[in-house]
Chains A and B, each alone.
Chain A
Amino acid sequence: MAEQKIGKLNLTDILVTIVASLVFGLIFRLMGPVYDLLKPFGLQLEMLTYGIWFIAGPFVALLIRKPGVAFLAETAAAAVELLFAGSGGIINVYYGLIQGVFSEAVFAAFLYKRFTLLTAILSGVAASIGSFILDIPYGYLTGLVGWNLTLNIVFRFISAIILAGFLPYILVKALEKTGVTQLVRPVTKEDYDVLKK
């Protein structure tokens, strides 16, 4: 599509994003009970799995490398979780929206030029900051005793770095080897350079 403006999402981008979000939405739904079962005793152990809920944004951004897909992915995955009656219910959509905005903001800050491990990790961490913003009024987070609150924050950041930083990076690297990423990424300058040789 020659007339298409660079950066605008076409139907392929949207559909690939949504299908990937559907996969992650189902993973969110299946991880929900695991997360809930880690909650008793209040030791914040469930926070070690929290990172998986931030994965959709960084993963799709690394995969498609276009503006807007991280936000769309995180929101769509949250909506899928709602439609499959995930344990949070309607809350998920709000969390999805805010996490999507924060996740997207990191890639935007790099002007959509860098899709590396670093930006993936930053994006995951940004999403967890987004989740804290909702957790303060919703979960009375600041009403916890100091050590418990610290545990919550540290665990959440650790899991965001591993599950929403390293994991999507590993997955996309592996997908690159299969060649499937060539279907969905925009054409880059390097691709044209190859043709010139």
Chain B
Amino acid sequence: MDPVITDTSKLFFKVNPSLKLICFAFLFILYLSVQNLNTMIWTTVAFSIVTLWANGLPRKWSVGFFLMTFIVSFFSASAMILYGKGSHVLFQWFLIRTTEESLARGIQLGLRTFVFGLLGVLFASTTPPVPFFYSLMQQLKVPVRYAYGCLAAFRMLPMMAEELGHIRQAMKVRGMSRQKGLRAFYERFLHYALGILVQSIRRAQRTAVAMEAKRFSMKEKRTFYYQIGWSRKDLIFLSVMTVTVVSGFLLSRWIPLTPYTNVIDGY
């Protein structure tokens, strides 16, 4: 992911990764219980602003990501919009039966997926793996074995990519990549999958033995190379999140855009 991130001076990079994770995980529960379409619309507006301002992607990428997330979110709402239950029919053609209720529910679903997608982009683009796992160990007390295991695994990614290249070249030389048909595709898939998996498992086992020998799985009091702590940035982060969430709820009360305050009514 490193080449994607250019500007690491942004505020969200400095926020404690565990705090970010817990905060976003809480937002999931919160918005799962929101059935008011107006709240969701205003929340989407608020989070769009925050994401466009705070994400860690280069500018030309961030707008693209934003639009893509938006379109994809409404793909997931298509089934609900076209075939949802409801009594006030807006449009009917063959199997398609769009009703007011299903449209409202679909939009709610689409916006919710969009907000979670934005949070995902916001998290992934501002959280490099190394501080994330160090923070998990120090703040959330995740057992060291698991966190270092993850870190070691991430180190193996470039090697996996290289091996993938080797397998591709080997297949090219042997003419496998030119074969057509379902059987050839299956064989190719199996060769890629097995090659990568076998080498990864062997490497993981070797690495684990070495790590064990160096007491990486030690449970007693231990020190960390990177100390992830708390700072004023965390307070700013929390305030930004609180303002965003609260503004979504307040604006929906002050300026309700639709009459749908409970989308699960009507089925």
Contacts and interface: CB of A to CB of B under 8 A. Distances in A.
B79 interface: yes
A23 interface: yes
A178 B196 CA distance: 13
A143 B83 CA distance: 9
Given A15-B208, A171-B193, A178 B198 contact: yes
Interface stretch (A90-98, A107-115, A187-195): A90-98
Contacts of B200: 19-20, 22-23
Contacts of A44: 79
Contact of A171 (B194, B207, B211, B263): B194
Interface stretch (B36-44, B149-157, B228-236): B149-157
Nearest to A64: B201
A125 interface: no
A145 B97 contact: yes
B76 interface: yes
B80 interface: yes
Interface residues of A, number: 58
Interface string B251-263: 0000000000001
A83 B21 CA distance: 11
B190 A174 contact: yes
B25 interface: yes
Nearest to A87: B72
Given A14-B145, A76-B150, A85-B124, A94 B201 contact: no
A152 B123 CA distance: 30
Interface string B189-225: 0100110111011111101110110001100000000
Given A36-B76, A83-B129, 12 more contacts: A20-B197, A22-B157, A42-B79, A87-B117, A138-B112, A140-B80, A140-B105, A140-B263, A142-B267, A143-B102, A148-B79, A180-B201
15 contacts: A15-B149, A16-B204, A19-B156, A37-B75, A39-B75, A42-B79, A63-B201, A82-B124, A83-B129, A89-B120, A90-B25, A140-B264, A145-B84, A175-B201, A184-B201
Interface of A: 9-12, 14-23, 36-37, 39-44, 63, 72, 76, 79, 82-94, 137-140, 142-145, 147-148, 152, 170-171, 174-175, 178, 180, 183-184
Interface of B: 1, 24-25, 27-28, 32, 65, 69, 72, 75-76, 78-85, 95, 97, 101-102, 105, 108-109, 112-113, 116-121, 123-125, 127, 129, 132, 145-146, 149-150, 152-154, 156-157, 160, 190, 193-194, 196-198, 200-205, 207-209, 211-212, 216-217, 263-264, 267
